[in-house]
Chain A
Amino acid sequence: MSQSEDESWLPKPSSRTAPFFEAASEGKLRLQCCDDCGTWTFPYRERCQHCGSRSIVWRDASGRGTLYSHGLLRRAYHPRHEDRLPIVLAQVDVTEGVRLSTNLVDVEPGAVKVGMEVEVAFESLPDGGIIPVFRPVID
Chain B
Amino acid sequence: MNHPMNGAGAVSGLGMTEMGRVYRSAIDLASEAVYLAIDDAGIDKSELDGLLINTGITRGLDLHLHVALGLQELNLLTFMQGYGSSAGQMIQYAAMAVANGLAKNVACVFADAPLVDGQRTGASYSGGRRFGGDALSSLHGLYGFTGAIPMFAMAAQRHMDLFGTTRDQLGQIAVSQRAWAGLNERATKREPITLSEYHDSPWVVEPFHVLDCCLVSNGAICVIVTSAEQARDGRQPPVYIRGFAQGHRHDTGQTVPDSAIRGPGSRSASRALAMANASLGEVTQCQLYDCYTYTVLVTLEDYGFCEKGEGGAFVEDGRLGPGGALPTNTGGGELSSYYMWGMTPISEAVIQGRGQAGERQSSNDLIICSGNGGMLNYHSTVVLSPETAS
A interface residue numbers (CB < 8 A to B): 8-14, 17-18, 20-21, 39, 41-45, 49, 68-75, 77-81, 86-87, 89-91, 93, 97-99, 101-103, 109, 113-115, 131, 133
Contacts and interface: CB of A to CB of B under 8 A. Distances in A.
Contacts of A9: 131-132, 138, 141-142
B3 interface: no
Contacts of B129: 79
Given A9-B138, A14-B134, A102-B143, A69 B204 contact: no
Nearest to B153: A71
Contacts, number: 130
B255 A93 contact: yes
Nearest to A98: B253
Interface string B187-224: 00000000000000011111110000000000000000
Contacts of B147: 77
A17 B141 contact: no
Contact of A12 (B132, B141, B153, B157): B132
25 contacts: A8-B132, A9-B131, A9-B132, A10-B138, A11-B135, A11-B142, A12-B135, A43-B136, A69-B158, A71-B157, A71-B206, A74-B204, A75-B205, A77-B127, A77-B144, A77-B146, A78-B131, A80-B142, A81-B144, A99-B253, A99-B254, A101-B139, A101-B151, A114-B157, A131-B142
Contact of A49 (B127, B135, B253): B253
B71 to A, nearest CB: 40
A74 to B, nearest CB: 4
A71 B205 contact: yes
A68 B260 contact: yes
Given A11-B138, A80-B142, 8 more contacts: A11-B142, A14-B135, A43-B136, A71-B208, A75-B205, A101-B145, A113-B161, A114-B162
B137 to A, nearest CB: 7
A102 B144 CA distance: 8
- Summarize B's interface: helix, strand, loop or mixed: mixed
A86 B151 CA distance: 16
A59 B135 CA distance: 18
A89 B260 contact: no
A81 B143 CA distance: 9
B184 to A, nearest CB: 29
A8 B132 CA distance: 6
Contact of B253 (A43, A69, A87, A90): A43
